[in-house]
Amino acid sequence: MSRLLAAITLPLSIALTIVVTILCSVPIIVAGIIKLLLPIPVVWRSISAFCNLMMYCWCSGLAMLLHLNPWLKWDVEGLEGLSKKNWYLLICNHHSWADIVVLCVLFRKHIPMNKYFLKQQLAWVPFIGLACWALDMPFMRRYSRSYLIRHPERRGKDVETTRRSCEKFRTHPTTIVNFVEGSRFTEEKRLETRSPYKHLLPPKAAGIAMALNVLGSQFDKLMDVTLCYPENDSTPFFDMLSGKLTRIVVRINLMPVANELHGDYVTDKNFKRSFQQWLNTLWTQKDAQIEELKSGQSR
């Protein structure tokens, strides 16, 4: 019976996930087309509210699917003090595609709907770009140091582009999410990047520094989130779909947005150095925390 159940769970879970995603994403894409054709502020505000509602429905649908797994246990600490009326900058380690599902499901009732900083190139991907734009996801255009040397007139334009994208967040509480490693963790990537950490890739400071430079005074708190799947470390997303995921560990650390974290990361070398040191220290602590969680020393 258990083998039969396992054989049925995976295709059924995938099918239900696809259905939930389609039911919620199609209205968002249609709303995005309307938003594109009617550039009227009052229309845009109504469409943004509708799209956030659809995003919430998607998160709730995924929550119900996870609830179907009777073996899944949530081990969460730090939800106290969160509010949908606040602005948050959420930084998190990135282990699996399951991370996005976990963040959406866990925080949907506690903080404003998550908004992810996306690369400008994604804006031109069919359907995905339109849906993200309709959801008011901010697109970032980053220039490399070598590009700025060749085109000094572009210096500061990436910050200005991001600033314009985020202006809408000043009137409505928002959660900005940044996976600062820039990629999902694998042992191969850890070795390739010569990571000094056992369970993490080196953090990329530019994205979070950019967010703080643009909206630093707007954020009420910085949320440092640590995700871990101690019993399903190798394939958490597949195990989530197949009903084999048994434990999700989430640790939330609310931090003040200190004045020392505000500065020009692009041109101020001293600020860049201190900011990288702060983030590296945070990542060292996170790596030790994950080690404890996996070894069973922290419950």
Selection from 175, 166, 170 nearest residue 139 by Cα? 166
Residue 135 within a domain: yes
Tally of domains within the chain: 1
62 within domain boundaries: no
How far, in whole angstroms, is CA 73 from its chain's centroid? 22
- Write the pLDDT tens digit of every residue in 249-270: 999 999 999 888 988 887 889 9
In a domain, residue 26? The reply is no
Residue 171 is assigned to a structural domain of this protein: yes
Residue 190: pLDDT above 50? yes
Q: What is the pLDDT of residue 162?
A: 66
228 occurs within a structural domain: yes
Q: What is the mean pLDDT of residues 277-293?
A: 96
Q: Is residue 268 part of a domain?
A: yes
Provide the 3-class DSSP secondary structure of residue 231.
coil
- Global pTM reads 0.86
How many other C-beta atoms can be found within 10 angstroms of the C-beta atom of residue 279? 19
* CA-atom Rg of the chain in angstroms: 20
Tell me if 54 sits within 8 A of 27, measured CB to CB.
yes
Q: What is the pLDDT of residue 163?
A: 67
Name 255's Cβ contacts closer than 8 Å, sequence gap at least 6: 221, 222, 223, 224
Q: Which residues, other chains included, contact 287 with Cβ-Cβ below 8 Å and sequence gap of 6+?
A: 197, 198, 199, 200
Examine residue 31 and state whether it is found in any structural domain, yes or no.
Answer: no
pLDDT digit string, tens, across residues 148-183: 667 666 666 666 666 676 677 888 899 999 899 988
Which residues form the domain of 244? 71-295
Q: Is residue 48 situated within a structural domain?
A: no
- The CATH number linked to 143 is 3.40.1130
